[in-house]
Amino acid sequence: MEFNILHLGSGSKVDVILRKATEHGASEFPRRQLQPMTTTVNAHFASPEDVIIAKLDYMKGRSEKHLADVAGILRVQGDALDRAYLEGWVAKLGLDEP
């Protein structure tokens, strides 16, 4: 299940995706990262690797926008990405197949 939270004043949008009862869901939850949303509010966000995995999974037969998002995450995160984790889940979930 997923839904969006919109801030009408700024146009900011947050995608809220509930943890899936899967092996990958169990793996990604402890990897979440606490980040500031405002000067007084912090929130947990999925790791960049898990965002990439989710976008690759979601885009099967869908929008190319997710592919552009993945390319942007790869470019911004660079060597900070846990490539072994990312590549392992991409292979395990069959996301490396056309």
| Tens digit of pLDDT at every position of the chain (98 positions) | 778 888 898 888 888 888 888 888 889 989 999 999 888 989 888 999 998 888 888 776 566 778 888 889 999 999 999 999 999 999 998 888 76
- Residue 93 phi, psi (nearest 5): -90, 0
Q: Please give the model's pTM, rounded to 2 decimal places.
A: 0.69
CA distance 13 to 80: 25
Residue 96 has what DSSP assignment? Answer: T
Q: Which residue has the tokens 């690797």?
A: 49
Computed over its alpha carbons, how large is the radius of gyration of the chain? 14
Q: Two tokens at 82?
A: 């846990």
Provide the residue count of the chain.
98
